[in-house]
Structure 1
Amino acid sequence: MKPALVVIVGPTAVGKTKTSIEIAKAFDGEIINSDSMQVYKGLDIGTAKIKEDEKEGIPHHLFDIRIPDEDYSAADFQNDAQRKIKELHDKGKLPVMVGGTGLYIRAITHGYEFTDVAADPEYREKLEAYAQENGVEALHEQLKQLDEKRASQIHPNNVRRVIRALEIHHTSGSLESPTNQSEEESPYNLITIGLTMDRERLYERINLRVDLMMEEGLLEEVQSLYESGVRNSQAVLGIGYKELYAYFEGQCSLEEAVTTLKRNSRRYAKRQLTWFRHQMEVEWFDVTNGSINEKIPSILRFVAGKLNPESN
């Protein structure tokens, strides 16, 4: 039987952190970060990183493992996360992976091959970020500009194949793959939970979260990063940092920066939902009405059923 892996996905501000804690407590689990920004030390408020007193004694892994001026690729994450998952399985713990970076999650759940001929992980990450920021249609349009026939063979929502085609062209100058590409079966007994809510309600939560981040010291956090001399790194290109960098560089007022931050966060949440709905098989739980606490019992029953299917 395949080893179990719980994955919790969904847009920013929907309640993934609380859910991960409850699942880990119920099933003797430990939590693995799969958010590309939360790997960085010092990027706490802007990434909504879990606080120490919120962990409830549950071990957390792959948080704060890089300094802000270091790069960290999806291939790096794949290596680190696969090793950590095996380590947890070896000691009888249930790995619970939580986060919102689609490429990182797919790299684990379906084993992206980063050593393929014509592979370029950094370029692939740029395309993934572009898709989440600008939408799958905009990414597909890039492919269409290169080869309209090839683009017509790939649905815009099949982001994995669009990215692969663009990556192959980038490295080889051709849209033809030198190797046979196919969907790989996951090496895990995947238990994938998605949290969602009414878009208007989600956007309200995102706007409120940004206001709370500012009250908690986001401006000072970004100022410290800015004054340390970190520029053009992966860390400062993230939402919550690039907008305030524009303020510190005199490109906009603080009010304009916060407005842009809220807008970009809302857009990112929309991209996240689109990604997870089309790239993964997910059991969705709508948390629009009431708090996440009200959904926890049904989520725990779902996980229990997947871990012990013979008991159903």
Structure 2
Amino acid sequence: MKKSENYNLIVVLGPTASGKTDLATQLAYDIDGEIISADSRQVYKQMDLGTGKDLDDYTINGTEIPYHLIDIVEAGSKYNVYQYQNDFFKAFEKIQNKGKIPIMCGGTGMYIEAVLKHFKLVQVPANYEFRETLKNKTLAELTEILKSYKNLHNNSDVDTIKRAIRAIEIEEYYKSNPKIDITLPELRPLIIGVDIDRELRRAKITKRLKSRLEEGMVDEVRNIMDQGVNAEDLIYYGLEYKFLTLFATGKITHQEMFDQLNIAIHQFAKRQMTYFRKMERGGIDIKWMQATTPIKTRVSKIIELL
């Protein structure tokens, strides 16, 4: 397919378990595009089942759909929105130079918004003295502190104390370092949202969690720890890695792990939708399509919009 005159980027976003990857890869297959992942956890190597990479989805009719920003950093390291924005635009220009269409696909609203709104970000250094002032606070207290900042640069999923402290640290840095001179490529995005009924989403989340546990999600965590990544660093990633690590280290039972993780993923999907609605209120135009509409129908509609 020739390049669109109106758009130079397609974005496919949606909450977890909405089927956005299936839609994005089918679209990429039909228009000869390439995927740029917008998932804050899929950047990590070895963290496959827990992050839901489903790399088999990137092969359609024997054709492998090229993807970017998956498996690019080591498990145990820290990756942030500043790094993502930089890596995104490198991938974006690389795909454009091939004469292909970049398709951003993911559910990390902060990453997507940082790209679409050209947030002027810098690498925020660690402030250990500031962290000391927060170390005895609860997650609920830290969340309230984070909400007190008027213009959040880092409104991420803070489901662990370490992630919340880092988010506050970033906001505190931006209070005294607001002026950043940066030039980013122009984007003309067509943004597609995958809307899924709440009950259907909940059913898919629970079914997928059971399936991934059967496929060896606990063993994945144990293998990562066996290679030298400590439990605290895995818990930092939240969601699956928080509860799987707590179980693997004997802190909770298998049933507690399943029940608590299942609830946490449902809550996370709800927060994702809240973030996307906030993006809309902030001026980002999202064209929503129902998850239950056949993929081919949705792909045809997207091609019409192009």
TM-score (norm 1): 0.76
Secondary structure, counterpart of 1:192 in structure 2: strand
**RMSD value, Cα:** 3.4
Secondary structure, counterpart of 2:240 in structure 1: coil
Residue 177 of structure 1: CA displacement?
7.7
**Who is 1:61 aligned against?**
68
Which amino acid is the alignment partner of residue 304 of structure 2?
A
1:247-266 alignment runs, 5 A limit: 247-266=247-266
**Who is 1:171 aligned against?**
173
Which amino acid is the alignment partner of residue 142 of structure 1?
I
CA contact (8 A) 2:28 2:103 kept: yes
- Give me the whole-angstrom Cα distance separating, in 1, the residues matched to 2:235 and 2:94: 28
Secondary structure, counterpart of 1:252 in structure 2: coil
- Give me the whole-angstrom Cα distance separating, in 2, the residues matched to 1:109 and 1:200: 30
Which amino acid is the alignment partner of residue 81 of structure 2?
A
**Who is 1:120 aligned against?**
124
**Who is 2:203 aligned against?**
204
CA contact (8 A) 1:114 1:121 kept: no
Q: Moved runs in structure 1, 4+ residues, more than 6 A?
A: 165-169
- Give me the whole-angstrom Cα distance separating, in 2, the residues matched to 1:162 and 1:241: 20
**Who is 1:188 aligned against?**
187
CA pair 36-304 structure 1, distance change in 2 beyond 3 A: same
The answer to whether structure 1 residue 21 and structure 2 residue 22 are counterparts is: no
CA contact (8 A) 1:9 1:98 kept: yes
- Give me the whole-angstrom Cα distance separating, in 1, the residues matched to 2:154 and 2:262: 30
Which amino acid is the alignment partner of residue 96 of structure 2?
H
- Give me the whole-angstrom Cα distance separating, in 2, the residues matched to 1:277 and 1:185: 25
Which amino acid is the alignment partner of residue 4 of structure 1?
N
Which amino acid is the alignment partner of residue 108 of structure 2?
T
The answer to whether structure 1 residue 142 and structure 2 residue 153 are counterparts is: no
Q: Which range moves more in the overlay, 230-239 or 242-251?
A: 230-239
Which amino acid is the alignment partner of residue 267 of structure 2?
R
CA contact (8 A) 2:195 2:289 kept: yes
**Who is 1:213 aligned against?**
212
CA contact (8 A) 1:102 1:275 kept: yes
**Who is 2:87 aligned against?**
80
Percentage identity across aligned positions? Answer: 32
Which amino acid is the alignment partner of residue 243 of structure 1?
F
Residue 19 of structure 1: CA displacement?
0.3
CA contact (8 A) 2:58 2:65 kept: no
CA contact (8 A) 2:26 2:299 kept: no
Cα deviation code 1:23-42 (max 9, x no counterpart): 10121101111111111111
Q: Which range moves more in the overlay, 12-21 or 51-60?
A: 51-60
Residue 120 of structure 1: CA displacement?
3.2
Residue 300 of structure 1: CA displacement?
3.0
CA pair 16-235 structure 1, distance change in 2 beyond 3 A: farther
CA pair 263-53 structure 1, distance change in 2 beyond 3 A: closer
**Who is 1:34 aligned against?**
38
**Who is 1:229 aligned against?**
228
CA contact (8 A) 1:243 1:261 kept: yes
TM-score (norm 2): 0.77
**Who is 1:245 aligned against?**
245
Cα deviation code 1:75-107 (max 9, x no counterpart): 111111101101111111000111111121122
CA pair 299-122 structure 1, distance change in 2 beyond 3 A: farther
**Who is 1:267 aligned against?**
267
Cα deviation code 1:166-199 (max 9, x no counterpart): 6686237xx688559xxx9992111111112221
Residue 267 of structure 1: CA displacement?
0.6
CA contact (8 A) 1:110 1:186 kept: no
Secondary structure, counterpart of 1:233 in structure 2: helix
| Gap runs ≥5 in structure 2 | 128-138, 157-166
- Give me the whole-angstrom Cα distance separating, in 2, the residues matched to 1:32 and 1:195: 17
CA pair 74-234 structure 1, distance change in 2 beyond 3 A: farther
- Give me the whole-angstrom Cα distance separating, in 1, the residues matched to 2:287 and 2:37: 20
Residue 122 of structure 1: CA displacement?
7.5
Equivalenced residue count is 273
